[in-house]
A and B are shown apart, each in its own frame.
Chain A
Amino acid sequence: MIRSSRLWIALIAGLLLTTVAKADEFRVGVVLDRGGKDDKSFNAAAFKGGKEAEKALGITLKTVEASDDNSFEPMLRSLSQKKFDLIIAVGIAQADAVKKISAQFPQLKYALIDAQVDAPNVTSLLFEEHEGSYLVGAAAAMASKTGKLGFLGGVDIPLIRRFQMGYEAGAKKVNPKATVVANYVGVTTEAWNNPTKGRELSLSQYDAGVDVIFAAAGASGTGMFDAAEERSKGGVKKFAIGCDSNQNWIKPGLVLTSMLKRVDTAVFSTIDSAKKGQFVAGTKRFGLQNQGIDYAVDSFNDKLLTSEMRAKLDLLKKEIIAGKIKVPDYYSKRSKTAQN
């Protein structure tokens, strides 16, 4: 009897704890894409931004990871029902779910990364990935001895084609004879989270004479770093270029640089302004010009990127910002509606 009554007390206490939320909290919910917070790349950057905001701004953060494509909507809905102050959906696959849920909860605020939803309570955070890809493409062409470059895409969608196109243009700018081999891990969202296949594709690219690969493949990209290490054992270095997050640390000495897509900054600043009551619906673009896009230099690749190379890259960067170089954009090549 005593035992069971204790159980009941525990159960009731648990109920009370979870249902009563503190009144003065600013609560932020983040729904990550299938790659998950440990993809060391895109989702990891979003997660990092949230964590930094939690530390610096004193918000309450709840992060959830989608297990399949059907779970975006229930997850966004659960957060909405709990009246989170800001709900951030990470990834292009969540566009439909955000569109639907934001309409059902017009009093709540939503942020969507990488896709656009036009609604009075949604801010869409878009990145000019082609600009950054152009720079790392140029870096790759300068570092390559064979003139053969590789590109590893996650899911074959226009967003990643945009990376590829910028990368190819940047490489050709430096070395008109450079060729780019491109492979995609898959066509479904599972391809964001398949490091094994990422590794296989990278290995075969290296074996075909490629000596620098740029991966825009979410968690699948981690396979590329392993492949680079494996194929560098013979003494001839094979390089990798990271994406979204700064991935230079993953295999020091082999990661030429990383194309930074500052999802973390975007998440942080969105939380910051929402907390201050300055949430603005609409579309925000992040590019080279506002440091939303960049390439990474740190102690891990200090020696790989020579000062010459860096000077060249910075020059290109300035010219892009100034509009002197027009980086080809896959989105504008296709119909404008392609961005959702």
Chain B
Amino acid sequence: MVHNEEFSGKMALSVPALLELRGVSRSFGALRANAEVDLKLEAGTIHGVVGENGAGKSTLMKIAYGMIEPDAGHLLIDGVERSWWRSPREAIQAGIGMVHQHFMLAGPESALDNAILGESRPTGRWSFLPPLLRPLDRKGAIQRLRKLSDEFGFDIDWTAEVETLPVGVQQRLEILKLLDRDARILILDEPTAVLTPQETDELFKNLRKLTRSGRSVVVITHKLREVMQFTDEVTVLRAGRVTARLKTKDTSAEALAEAMVGRKVVLRVEENGKSRTPVSNESVLQVEALTLAAARDNGKPRLNQVSFDVKRGEVVGIAGVEGNGQSELIRALIHPSHADCRTSGQVRLLGVDITHTRDSEIRSLGVSVIPEDRHEEGLLLDRSLEENYLLGLQRDARFSNRGWIKRAQLRTLVNEALEAHDVRPRDAEAKARGLSGGNQQKLVIAREFSRHPKCLIASQPTRGVDVGAIESIHSKILEARSGGTAVLLLSSELDELMGLSDRILVMYEGKFVAEHRRQQGSSPYDERAIGLGMSGVIQ
């Protein structure tokens, strides 16, 4: 463990930090995204930056990368104070590189072309031309890239079209791109959100190799398990301020969670010691050979003959790397009559064929949906909590009488729901945009549970939700299960799936490749087997 010797002990005093941010503050209107934040990145370390959604992690990293200018604060590179970057270009020149959550790759081009795209042009004999007109030095570039990938053992097929490469490989390509531009500091924004457990291990193994050459890595994440497992140091942000700065080996996941939320939290999914109620035999949701053809002529079908069922009082989890048809599956279930959501196959609810039923009717038959992206699909951000609560319920007999909205009734029920689900603020007229991610999600859940659904489709129910709220969301889902609701759960958090599900179906390239049943005991699922299934390996 070379790195430990490098950064611990007295040597740290003599070797200045690669990057140091001091007293960084930045406000957006009334919102203080960062308040006097300090961050010190020692050479040769992996540094985790953790915090709830909206804690200011992304803002801080965008400041470090020159995408945002801070209101106040100092920037030090190798211990020397610098003026703030005016653009990412300046940051890149100083050796800082960033891998965004959504890769900035041009799909149909080859991996090589992507790697040299946008790099500074050679000076040499073409220097009389303006930089953009100088020819690219492809030969030189491929030599450099080969050397780099050999050096770090990054395996990339340089001639393949980028969009055909697995996500993990695309990520490697992004990192190599940065190395080719002499990045000494790599910032990775939520790098594991799209990876299987195996790919995650692989990624951190590669990152560790980089730190051995003196480079440093900042990983923005909210997955505490990864932080504990792979980082050297960790900085915790809450509401724009630093609440903890620790060596990873000196802390625990629980302590980090407490620093993130500001109170004690229970991390594991617990069922209050009670054993699970048995699953009934009655199918609520039955899906047969559901198919969605490819978007393009030559592509693979986005949903390929998907068949499964969810029974009363059962949680069925769907595991898979993002982009393997999960979103399409949900859309096909809630809009089966739309041609752009379902090409063939059948969906039945309580034995009734709803394949050609109108969306609004399906919902009123007792289907609730917690959408994947609550901003995009779940909320009217500029409207009041009251109007958000009404979304989808506007024709429900509780809220509407012959097409007229029962306003007094609505106000009463909304206030009750805000109270029951602990949505803050408890102000029916507050705008949804002003709520934290967790409270927004609680509002969505309050709304969707108010139907007392026979079938609940929950997609990423705890994504971007603070650790504290995750607890209550999980218990709500299990409560619904005990009440006889059939729950279809999609999540990119394997822990969540394994904690909640009675069965886990593994999705890969638009179809189910494996089914795992819950086992008795403390580890109900074989995580490794699920992970392999997610990467397409079927045992």
A touches B in complex, CB < 8 A: no
Which residues of B does A touch, CB under 8 Å? none
Which residues of A does B touch, CB under 8 Å? none
